[in-house]
Amino acid sequence: MDIVKPYARKDKVLFIMGATGTGKSRLSVDLATRFSGEIINTDKIQVYRGLDIVSNKITSEEKRGVPHHLLSVLPPEAGGYFTTADFCDRASFLIEAITDRGKLPIVVGGSNSFLEDLVMDGSRYNCCFLWVDVAVPVLRGVLSERVDKMVANGMVEEVRELFNSSDLKNYSEGIKNAVGISEFEKFFKHEPFLDAGERQVLFSEVVEEIKRNTCGLACRQREKIQRLINVNKWCVQRLDATPVITTRRWKADADVAWECLVAGPSTIYVSRFLQGRC
C-alpha cells in the first residue's frame, strides 16, 4: 500500500467555490486586495487563450492589479492535454512561490475536480473554504442576462473566428468544450442556406440552448460543491449572495448587500484563518 509522506510545510491556502455567475471572481479580487493575495485560476476553459467573452474571463479592469495565474496560459489548439495532474503540479508550484513571496494564495474557479484533487493531494495544505452561493431560480435569471450581454459584446464573432481557424470535430477537449461552441455549430453550418427570417429563428434557438446549457452547468457545479462538502467533511463557509443579485439593478443597494453579506463576512473568516483561530 502506498504511504503518503508528510510534507515539511503546510501552506495556508484560500479556496473560493461557487457556480458560474455567483461572484467568485469579484470576491477573490476583494480578498486579494485586503490580504495581499494572488489568484490561481481553476477554470478548465479559462486556462486557454482566446474565447474571453464565451468563457467570461475576468477583465484587466476587474483584476484591479491583482496577479492572476493559470489564466490564458495555453494555446487553444492544445486540446485536452492539460490534465488534472498537470493543474495540480502547476498550482502546487505556484502556491509555494506565492507563499514564499509573503502573499496569500487564493484558488478560485468553477472546475471543482481540479480543486478537489489539489486539496486532496496528500492533505498538504492548511485550507480555508468559502462558497459563494445563489438560489437557483435567481441564478437562472442572471445567467440568461449574461448570455444576452455576451451576444451583444461579440460572442458570435468570437466563436465564428474559432470555427474558421480550428478543427472542431471533438467538442469534449479543452477550449472546445466551452458552452456556446457546439451550440453554434448548427447555426454556422446552416446559415448560408437560410433567408434572414430563418436565420433569426435559428439564431434565437441557439441562444436559448446556450442559456439552458449554462444553467445546467451551474446546477452541476452547485451539486458537485455540495457533494465535496458532504463526502470530504470540509468546513466550508457558505455566503448567500442571492440578495446581491436581486438588488443588482440598484447598484448602491447591491454594493451594500455585497459588503454586508459576502465581502465583509469573508474578510472576518479569512482574518481568523490567517490568525489560526479557525
For the entire predicted model, the pTM comes to 0.91
Largest CA distance in the chain: 67
pLDDT of amino acid 168 = 54
pLDDT of amino acid 3 = 46
C-alpha cell at 170: 471533438
Q: May I ask the CATH class of domain 12-140+213-274?
A: alpha beta
Which mean pLDDT values do the consecutive 10-residue runs of the chain (278 residues) have? 55 96 96 98 92 93 96 81 89 96 95 90 88 96 96 94 70 77 90 91 96 96 94 93 88 92 97 88
pLDDT of amino acid 140 = 95
pLDDT of amino acid 93 = 95
Angle, helix 155-165 to helix 136-152, in steps of 10 degrees: 70
Sheet with 68-69: list strands edge to edge. Answer: 68-69, 37-41, 104-108, 12-17, 126-133, 236-240
Domain boundaries, given as residue ranges, for the chain:
12-140+213-274
Contact 48, 75 (CB under 8 A): yes
pLDDT of amino acid 251 = 84
pLDDT of amino acid 81 = 72
Identify the H or E element spanning 20.
Answer: none
